Structure 1
């Protein structure tokens, strides 16, 4: 499955969330990650995020898609997605 994760967390936890997500997904721009994952990876990501965030204060939104979405960029591409062979 393809997922997109966006988050709004307390500044004290931003770097921890970003560092964790970079291990699993592609950084798109500030507070946005995306990538193809298995069901097991998806569950590990959710569990890891739950350990980092404060659910009473922080917000993480996960969009699950069946395939990689069409992306249209307006303006500057912050971190271009590259096909790795």
Structure 2
């Protein structure tokens, strides 16, 4: 599946969340990630994120689609991290 993940975490936890999410997805802008991921890896990511987060103040939002081709993406301005597919 293809996901877009957005998080909002307290200042002390932002770095840990960034490192965690970069292990699973492509970092595209500050607290925003996207990419292909299996259901099992997504569950692992959510489990690890829950251990970092303060559930009273932090949030993790995940948008899912079956494939990237079903998602129309438009970038206005400078794209921070271009996604290239190398074989």
* TM-score tier (shorter): over 0.9
* TM-score, normalization by structure 1: 0.95
2:15 matches 1:12: no
Q: Which residue in 2 is equivalent to 1:67?
A: 67
Show structure 2 runs of 5+ residues with no match. Answer: none
* TM-score, normalization by structure 2: 0.93
**Which stretches of structure 1, 4 residues or longer, exceed 6 Å deviation after superposition?**
none
Q: What do the CA deviations read for 1:26-73 (whole angstroms, capped 9, x no partner)?
A: 001010001101111111011011011111110111111111123211
Show structure 1 runs of 5+ residues with no match. Answer: none
Specify the SS of the correspondent of 1:17: helix
Specify the SS of the correspondent of 1:11: coil
Q: Which residue in 2 is equivalent to 1:42?
A: 42
* Aligned counterparts of 2:45 and 2:4: Cα–Cα separation in 1: 12
Cα RMSD of the aligned pairs, angstroms, is: 0.8
Q: Which residue in 1 is equivalent to 2:54?
A: 54
Count of residues in correspondence between the two structures: 85
